[in-house]
Structure 1
Amino acid sequence: MSTYSVRRGDTLSALAKKFHTSVESLAKTNHIKNPNQIAVGQKLTVPGGSSSKPGHSTADGFDSKPSTSKPSTSASGGTTHGPVRDDDGRKFPVSADGTPMYRQGDSQWGGRTLGRHYSISAAGCAMTSTAMAMSKISGKVINPGELDAYLDKHGGYSGDGLIWGQAAKMAGLGASKPGWSLNTINKQIDAGRPVVIGVDYKAGSGGGNNGTDHWVAITHRKGNTYYANDPATGKEVALKLQGNRLVGGPKNYKSTGELVVFSGGKANPGTAPTGGTGGKDPVVSKPPTASGGSVKGMSLPSGDLEKGASGNGVKQLQAALVKLGHMTQAEMNTGPGTFGPKTEAALKEFQAAHGVPNTGYYGPKTRAAFEKLGAKVGGSTGPGPVTGPSEPGTKGGVSLAQLKKIMPNLSQAKAEQYLPHLNKAMAEAGINTPKRQAAFLAQLAHESGEFRYMEELASGAAYEGRKDLGNTHPGDGVRYKGRGPIQLTGRANYRAAGKALGIDLENNPKRAADPDVGFRTAAWFWNSRNLNSYADSGNFREITRRINGGYNGLASREAYYKRALSVLG
């Protein structure tokens, strides 16, 4: 048997693979009760005693081999600097410019889970390249295992994708995606600041985002030759300038236009990092922000947005993220106005950089962060984020006869009183096609008893103390009970709706029950949940869930919906 000292990033499962044994055997031999808990510096007795050095098959199609700490000849023709050491004393070779060379399939961290599904060995090229670049720029030796542990702890993944800004925080840096520019790359690497770029090498695969199926760290250049640390092999490779692209390497890499740069730090050309993080997360009071432009004066939607949303509000959000450097124009161009994975990842980066929980959900806290930067929330978007097509029918609304057919129990007097306000609100919110109007009217008919109840019959006491509704003050439950045809409820919703509509509903909550305001709050709520898009696709069940939080009264709602569709054609 032999002994082993646990290093940062180690897991019992990874060590079991390394030493040709099992987790159960390691745990039993070392009297470990919880296999998920081992400590840095802990001495383990290893059954069998010898370390294995297998190759690792990675998602990038390479056979990764164990790293060596011996100085080697670099792709740029010279001998690399001497090795650097991490916190555990392990040595790593560096490239000609002094950037550590890590291999994603290294046995120390290759078995760690990256995000939700894949291992670092299989899909950790972006994260490993980032660890190399950050180490050089910050002067701290940060290996991929340490970075992964930090990202797990601080919400650094969006699914399996890396949130660059959150990763950069470990070294007290900022990160941004400024768009492809050789001038930017040259300025960065000439100043001793490696950059991370996406490359494509799988013929016909199309790669991932913008064709990217691998990431490398560009460290320095000589003439038209650029040198990169490749996480697939843990070695330095040469890429030639061809037009506006960098091409070369063992798999004929071709740059895809994705570029990540880092701000902050004190990098110097030709110097290697000298120390680790001391085994602790760095304390960064104000990390550098993404090196993008200003969003001062830009309009952003006042309603909430999340993955799956679409429309002008999403497009406004994407434009702001591009301006700030969290998203490239090329990424936005793959789905302008569509809230997909790229938009979610970019929003999480923005949130992480501005002290907002990086959930990828565009809500009140995120809007407040944009407002601090000078953006105008609700600037020109009306009551919600969706702008619809041209208005069909009678001035974009419904007729008195149509309304009465949809809601047969509605009195003639109330129908005549409410119809102008209803049609004005629908036109304002882009609820202007038969599908949208049918879904909207069906939900209002159920919620308000065919406009019989513009204020909730119950006292509202049941909502007292509901922090999810923003009811944080005594009496908020009663004060902000359900009002209007869609039963707007809770201080937070009253505040948000009032801000969007230019009405102080927080201090005048009963105004939400008046028809001139109530129908507008219903339309605002509708668009704040992006319900026009679900109406367009006929997904009435999802509309119900987003309004109700479940499916209460679904049969009644669907009956109104079926009737409205038949009336409106």
Structure 2
Amino acid sequence: MSTTTVRPGDKTYQVRRGDTLSEIAERYKTTSAKLAKANNLSNPNHILAGQKLIVPAKANASDGFERPTAKPATKPAAKPSTAASGTANRAVSSVKDDDGRRFSTSRDGTPMYRQGDSQWGGRRLGTSSSLAAAGCAMTATAMAISKISGKVINPGELDAFLDKNRGYSGNALIWGKAAQMAGMGATKAAWNFNTINKQLDVGRPVVIGVNHKPGSNGGANGTDHWITLTGRGREGGKNVYYANDPATGKQITLRQQGSQLLGGKYNTTGELVTFSGGRAKPGTGGAAPSKPATPSKPAPKPATSLKGMTLPAGDLERGKSGAAVKQLQSALVKLGHMTAAEMRTGPGVFGPRTEDALKEFQKKHGVPSTGYYGPLTRAAMKKMGAKVGGTAPTAPTNPTTPGSTKGGVTLSQLKSIMPHLSDARARQTLPHLNKAMAEAKINTPKRQAAFIAQLAHESGEFRYFEELASGRAYEGRRDLGNIHPGDGVRYKGRGPIQLTGRSNYRAAGRALGIDLEGNPKRAADVDVGFRTAAWFWNSRNLNSYADAGNFREVTRRINGGYNGLASRQAYYSRALNVLT
């Protein structure tokens, strides 16, 4: 049996589950061959969790080993981000990972990681990029789950876990899979300050999307960077929020303006990820800063009844305005889904903040979370004591659906958009397509073109209403709600938009009044498939992006990335030419 000798200055490393020798060698800036030689490993591909390896000191010049440094090789920025101010930038403590490296923390005790750190910045991210270039979402998540779980998980470790556990879709992070490394779950929640505040006030960071570079990854309306919100307070009489920025590894300050947070080069895009599990109240870490911000006053306890309130009998959606919208906003304020101050920024105007508040109400009361005020929402509010039959809505000065069309698309238009669609299949599917578009208010050329283009790509021009693969790849995907054995196959992609996962089948079924969770194959039938596609479309507010002509963001919200973008855009261009 071979033995190794530990010499003065040598370091030992205990192998963790999932480690490879090449990854360990990269961490210590050496080669796997040299590490194997130092430890007399006859088979470098066979190392065991718990096994201790010797990493010779840098003094052993003949082997060329270097000991890991406790600081990044590249110098951090000399000055904090322009978004930051006061003590918000200060690292008040530090945490240590199981390699012995220390990382500074923000005031609340959340590690401050930089995506371009030399220890992991060069790692490959997903399929075609690097952590330094595109690892902001993953780095922001590593910060959040480290704080909440109490485990110090650095971005390099999280990326290695994701690589081994199919944690990327292309280069897009699968949030639930990332949270699993800390034994937690993740949810892409509707943007709502009540949700954010509840998490931050018990020490649970959240990850949010921001935009800072118009024209990049969705342009001015899309998310092109992710940061970690860690706390909130008041400065200069205004609400502020603190965040750790993966781009710099420093803390920044964002100021609340209406339904957005703004700071320096960043403005929020409405994308929010919260984490479940871990420690219920992680609290704070390190010493408090010398002058902590004064915490904002807690919101009054929301009402549980709408007795005495009158709500409009007509439907409302984003873009509407008038007394009816004001009635709805007053009810949402009373129930705690938005604040009176937020309402005062646009009383009687159905904007994004009202839509988000309505979605929160709908989610809480078992109504499809579409942000559309319709019969189901009225029924839920009526159960809470509200009287329904108030003022009819007033159309906005600039309606959100200019050029509204009736009757959907024609047979010849559909076949022109999809040149390989057979006449028989076109005639079979067209009535169901038009009915679903009418139901979902996909009723302008821009909306119809975007919707049909996405369906054409996803279904191979309506040929495939059931995924060709077995679905086993989705087994155990808790982010899709697949929690029981066989769920991957049972809830594989079906319908023209490839509805996937138990949770999506359940939500779509509830919205449509069909038991899709109990009878998932119904999602592949044409009469149901188009309706599930329309439900999915509205559940992600895609009409608004179609109205803005932001087809790239429509693609990202459907696909989670930009797979097949060229094909989708070709259908989209053809559809616009045909329908306009």
Compute the TM-score of the two structures, normalised by the length of structure 2. Answer: 0.43
**Whose radius of gyration is greater, 1 or 2?**
1
Compute the TM-score of the two structures, normalised by the length of structure 1. Answer: 0.44
